[in-house]
Amino acid sequence: MARALPIAWLNGTWLPLAEARVSPLDRAFLFADAVYEVVAVYGGRPLLVDEHLARLARSLRELGIADPHDDAAWRALIAGLVERNRSAAPDGHLGVYLQVSRGADTGRDHGFPADVPATVFGMASPLAAFDPTGSGLRAITAPDNRWARCDIKSTALLGNVLLRQAAAAAGAQECIMLRAGRLTEGSSSTVAIVEGRTVVTRPDGPEVLPGTTIRLVRSLAPACGLDWREEDIAESRLRRADEIWITSAMRGVLPVTHLDGKPVGAGVPGPAWRTIAVAYERCTRS
Ligand code: PMP
C-alpha cells in the first residue's frame, strides 16, 4: 500500500494530511455513516470523472446526505489535490480519495442529526502507470456475507476488509464473492469472465457496486473483437471460464491467473485480456 501524498482537504481547508483532525463523534467513525469515491488520475487528468461524480451523488442520495458540493466544486477539489501533490507525484498518476460523512453531532444517536454539516475529506496517493503486460493475480473465492445494499459506495467495508484479508492470508490479491451459488463481485473490484471471445458480467443490482471501470472496458470490447453479455454467472461457470478479469479504478483491468489455487485457463494472462489491456492503457494516456 502506497503512502498517502502529503496535502489533503478537510471541510474547506487545504492542509498537511498529518495535521487533519476529525471529531470522534463524526458519524463515519461511530457508524460508518459515510460514502466515498476513488478516482484514478493519469498524467494529471482524472479518468471517468463524470461517472465517479454521478455515483457519488447517487450514494449520497441513497443515504439522505445532502451533497455538500456541486459538480464544479468536486472537480476543483480533485484538481486541487492533483496540483498540490504534484511535486510528490511528478508523473501526475494519482488515486484521489473523496469521502463525505453525515458529520459530527454533539452526541451518539443512531437517528440522523438535524442541521449538522457533512464532513468532507479528500486525499491522494501515488498510482503506478497501468501495465498491459502484467502477470496477473491470484484470487480466492468466499461466500458474500456483506449487507444487502452493496450498490451504495459506503465506507462500511468490514465485510470487504475481512475477505480481502482472507485472500492475503492465502497468498492471493483478491477475494471473489459468491452469493447463493452465483458471482457477485470482488472485495474491491468488479469481476468479468471470458468464454471464448465473449466477455460476461452479471447485471447491476443491490448486491454489487456499479463499477465505472467495467463500463469503460465494455465500451472498448467491440474494437477488440470481443462480444459482451450480461447475465447471472453460476459458480460452476466462473470456475470453467477461459479467463477471469477484475476491474477497478485503481487497478484498471487485471487478469486472474489462479482461482483458489487452480489455474484459470492456461494459468497465465489470456489473449482477450492482452487485447483489452492495450486498449485500456491507451485510455489512461489520452
Ligand atoms: N466493487 C467493489 C466492492 C469495489 O470496491 C470497487 C472499487 N471501487 C468496484 C466494484 C469497482 O468500481 P470502480 O471500477 O468504479 O472502481
How do residues 27-42 score in pLDDT, each as one tens digit?
Answer: 999 999 999 999 999 9
What residue's CA is closest to ligand 1, atom 4?
188
Q: Is the pLDDT of residue 137 over 80?
A: yes
pLDDT exceeding 70 applies to what percent of the chain? Answer: 100
Pocket lined around ligand 1, Cβ cut-off 6 Å: 38, 160, 185, 188-190, 209, 211-214, 247-249
Per-residue pLDDT tens digits for 195-234: 999 999 999 999 999 999 999 999 999 999 999 999 999 9
Instruction: Judge contact between 116 and 103, C-beta under 8 A.
Output: yes
Do residues 7 and 85 make contact, with C-beta atoms less than 8 angstroms apart? yes
DSSP annotation of 63:
H
273-286 pLDDT, tens digit each: 999 999 999 999 98
The topology (CATH level 3) of 7-126 is D-amino Acid Aminotransferase; Chain A, domain 1 (3.30.470)
The Å distance, Cα 41 to ligand 1 centre, comes to: 16
Residue among 35, 36, 24 nearest 105 (CA): 24
* Ligand 1 atom nearest 150 alpha carbon: 3
What does the pLDDT read at residue 2? Answer: 80
Residue 105 pLDDT more than 70? yes
Q: Are 220 and 283 in contact (CB under 8 A)?
A: yes
Looking at the predicted structure, is the pLDDT value of residue 140 above 70? yes
> For domain 137-285, is the CATH number 3.40.109.10?
no
Atom of ligand 1 nearest to the CA of 51: 15
For the chain, the straight-line distance linking the first and the last C-alpha, in angstroms and rounded, comes to 26
Residue 1 pLDDT more than 70? no
Of 178, 252, 175, 170, nearest to 211 (Cα)?
A: 252
The Cβ of residue 240 has, within 10 Å, a number of other Cβ atoms equal to 12
Q: Tell me which residue of 103, 84, 51, 7 sits closest to 248, measured CA to CA.
A: 51
pLDDT band for position 106 (cuts 50, 70, 90): very high
The pLDDT tens digits for 148-197 are: 999 999 999 999 999 999 999 999 999 999 999 999 999 999 999 999 99
The domain locations on the chain are 7-126, 137-285
239-267 per-position pLDDT tens digit: 999 999 999 999 999 999 999 999 999 99
